[in-house]
Amino acid sequence: MKDMLTKWSSKISNDDKMEIEVSKWFVRLLEDVIIHALFGRNYEEYGKFIFKLQAQQKVYATKAYEQISIPGYRFLPTKKNIIAWRLERDVRKTFMKLIEHRRKRLYCRDDHDIQTEDGPKDLLEVMIKTSSTNPNICSLSTGIINIDEIIDECKTIFFAAKYSTSNMLTWTTVLLAMNPHWQELARDEVFKVCGARDAPSKDDIPKLSTLGMILNESLRLYPPVAAAIRQAKMDTKLGGLNLPKGTELLIPIIGIHHDSTLWGEDVNEFNPARFAHGVAQAAKSPMAFMPFGLGARHCIGQNLAIIEAKVVMSMILMRFSFQLAPTYRHAPAIRLFLCPQHGAPIIFQKL
């Protein structure tokens, strides 16, 4: 993070202003955070390679999402499908290599000792330890989860964590650029809570309540994940609806967040104060706010995402004031995730 801000500062000479397209920077920042949290420092190369492959996958997935879906089409060996299948194979192979390497380092040394008695250092280590009930057996199939499940979890986290959190940061920066009053309130709070520290400490994070309200309002107006999907596992009665087993439901998170019967007449306005008394009091229903989904399968990364966003936004607010660039065009679009279609050019000035 400090690296990114130093680069921004060096682009701005003296008290000049500088235009920065923030969405690209936030994506790169999130890649670093995820690689370190999931794999640890030594696996940067693998991580970067997987991100490169997934970025290509996203292009194909977005195109497929925007096209009319013809049943069975995805199984045909068209040029696009062949490329998509190859990318999927390569992602899997790279994860497999990485997990194998890590597992060997953990358990399969010559002396067959467990390498460390310490607690797990990152998420991958947690999963590897869960996958093997007997660490002296060099296998990933004796435990609660197997290698295919570990790979699937890694794929989801790599993809979901990067684009969702970077979009939240982008929209929050755009909204604070559009609303200088709230930008000022957030900055005042950051200085008051963090004092002379150049980044918030672990104890500062929960005290940044205005910033928390701003992040919630940003997630309400521009939820990075615009909808969730559920399938009825059995014949179900839901309110007045009878849902036969197998029925798929699309829960329109973005629609619920913009429903004036739940949020009031100012539903389309940026008003973080609506969250002043907590999420449950912000709307007519305590379930109306669902940027991370609801229920047993809600997002596992919710707390991490909010901590990341508080750290990033407060470090920016400490150093710069910012406003929208004249080239900014407001055009939210769903490209798998809800993002600004033409990017987010912002003008930064050193404080």
Provide the annotated binding site for heme. 299
Among 169, 147, 168, 166, residue whose Cα is nearest residue 158: 166
Task: Examine residue 300 and tell whether it contacts ligand HEM (CB under 6 A).
Answer: yes
User: What is the nearest approach in angstroms of ligand HEM to the Cβ of residue 341?
Assistant: 19
- How far apart CA 39 and CA 35 sit, in angstroms, is 5
Task: Examine residue 255 and tell whether it contacts ligand HEM (CB under 6 A).
Answer: no
Binding-site residues sit at 299
Q: In this structure, what DSSP letter does residue 346 have? A: E
Kindly identify the residues of this chain, within the stretch 314-343, that bind ligand HEM according to CB under 6 A.
none
Given the DSSP bridges, would you call strands 345-350 and 320-324 parallel, antiparallel or unpaired? Answer: antiparallel
Is residue 132 classed exposed, middle or buried when 0-12, 13-18 and 19+ CB atoms within 10 A define those classes?
Answer: buried
User: What is the nearest approach in angstroms of ligand HEM to the Cβ of residue 311?
Assistant: 13
Both tokens of 27, joined, read 């994506």
Looking at 128, 147, 193, 228, which residue binds ligand HEM (CB under 6 A)? 228
End-to-end C-alpha distance for the chain, whole angstroms: 18
**At a CB cut-off of 8 Å and minimum separation 6, what does 327 contact?**
19, 345
Kindly identify the residues of this chain, within the stretch 155-194, that bind ligand HEM according to CB under 6 A.
156-157, 160-161, 164-165, 168
Task: Examine residue 291 and tell whether it contacts ligand HEM (CB under 6 A).
Answer: yes
Task: Examine residue 254 and tell whether it contacts ligand HEM (CB under 6 A).
Answer: no
Among 310, 308, 118, residue whose Cα is nearest residue 214: 310
- The smaller minimum CB distance to ligand HEM, of residues 221 and 347, is found at 221
Task: Examine residue 231 and tell whether it contacts ligand HEM (CB under 6 A).
Answer: no
Task: Examine residue 292 and tell whether it contacts ligand HEM (CB under 6 A).
Answer: yes
Kindly write out the interface string for residues 125-144 of this chain, putting x where it contacts ligand HEM by CB under 6 A and - elsewhere: --------------------
How many CB atoms are closer than 10 A to CB 313? 24
Binding site for ligand HEM (CB under 6 A): 156-157, 160-161, 164-165, 168, 224-225, 228, 291-294, 297-301, 304-305
